Copies of this chain bind each other. A is one copy, B any other.
Amino acid sequence: MSILVVGSVAFDTIETPHGKRERCQGGAATHFAIAASFFTDVRVIGVVGDDFGPKQEEAFKKRNIDISGIEHIPGEKCFHWAGSYEGALNEAKTLQTDLNVFADFSPKVPSNYQDSDFLFLANIDPVLQKRVMDAMPDVKMVAGDTMNYWIADHRDNLLKMLAGLDTLIINDGEARMLSGEHNLVKAAKKVIEMGPKSLVIKHGEYGATAFFCERSFPGTKNTTVPFRAPALPLEEVVDPTGAGDSFAGGFYGYLAAQKEITPRAFRTALFYGGVMGSFAVEKFGIERLRDATREEIEERFRLFREISHLDLDAE
């Protein structure tokens, strides 16, 4: 099954305790697409400027990602974000945001993307997310992301988008802000009342929790019990930029590759999300994820089971 992702295709200038990198290839759609491409076909809708050249295209082509839906605006530049991380590397401090081509982004779904099976709405203006969602009424599943800016200042538009989601993937802080509840279980209930059939809350180095409502898996029983997936305890987190998008890509890519979206497939997908997130942070930008292999991914998936499951054979 194919995934269509809409979101930012950008450059990031990143400073972490491990060093500084100027203008790494990045953006939510980039991280998501590369992570998902290890599992299924991926198509990207985005907008770029003249600074998006053959080198940047190559990163997508190497992973067989269809970028025919990325619009080029001549004479302009790509979206650029600069940020720094300190201490726990949990939260980025934004130093600079240059919207550039992104300021007037108006996503269009090309005809060759119309038969996409799964839709992922990366973190952009919820008005645009909703527009793409409405343009793709026949997809099997719609998942999406958002951030504090839209939650705080564009709530009405955000709520219209959330109403159409199968799965919302956000972090602890966003779940608390969106719901007004500090307790994450209460927060999840409120968010699910806004429309999403399921909610994945990412806890950074502590993993992720999925919450479900009765509509999550029609025809199956006992599906409303939450599920917790671990994160790998990592000694070196070089750059957390894109970890959440890589998590979403691994999660959604695995899910799109399954015959049927069952509770078990959903749970397993969360583990693959963690796996792709764990690769993403090992190097700057997309460096590590881009060079991953399917064998490495399976090996790390086994490691995720080993660190979290009781009943493995090894005594």
- Which chain B residue lies CB-closest to A181? B235
Kindly identify which residue among B228, B234, B264, B309 contacts A307, using a CB–CB cutoff of 8 Å: B228
Given contacts A209-B233, A233-B209, contact A310 B267 (CB under 8 A): yes
A27-35, A144-152, A199-207, A242-250: which one contacts chain B?
Answer: A199-207
Interchain CB contact under 8 A, B310 and A305: yes
Interchain CB contact under 8 A, B262 and A308: no
Chain A contact residues, CB within 8 Å of chain B = 87-88, 182-186, 188-189, 203, 205-207, 209, 211, 220-222, 225-230, 233-237, 262-264, 267-268, 271, 303, 305-311, 314-315
Q: Give the Cβ gap from A80 to chain B, nearest Cβ, in Å.
A: 29
Given contacts A235-B186, A237-B183, A262-B315, contact A225 B306 (CB under 8 A): yes
Residues of B within 8 A of A228 (CB): 207, 230, 233, 307-308
**Majority SS at the chain A contact face:** loop
- Report, nearest first, the 9 A-B pairs whose CB atoms are least far apart: A206-B206, A185-B235, A228-B230, A185-B233, A226-B233, A262-B315, A228-B308, A228-B307, A267-B310
Interchain CB contact under 8 A, B227 and A308: yes
Interchain CB contact under 8 A, B225 and A307: yes
Interchain CB contact under 8 A, B263 and A314: yes
Rounded to whole angstroms, the CA-CA distance of A306 and B186 in the bound complex is 20
Rounded to whole angstroms, the CA-CA distance of A234 and B184 in the bound complex is 8
Rounded to whole angstroms, the CA-CA distance of A207 and B231 in the bound complex is 12
Kindly identify which residue among B184, B263, B315 contacts A233, using a CB–CB cutoff of 8 Å: B184
Q: With contacts A185-B233, A225-B306, A229-B308 known, what are 13 further pairs, Cβ within 8 A?
A: A87-B182, A183-B236, A184-B205, A189-B235, A203-B206, A206-B206, A222-B314, A226-B233, A226-B307, A230-B308, A267-B310, A268-B310, A271-B310
Q: Give the Cβ gap from A71 to chain B, nearest Cβ, in Å.
A: 40
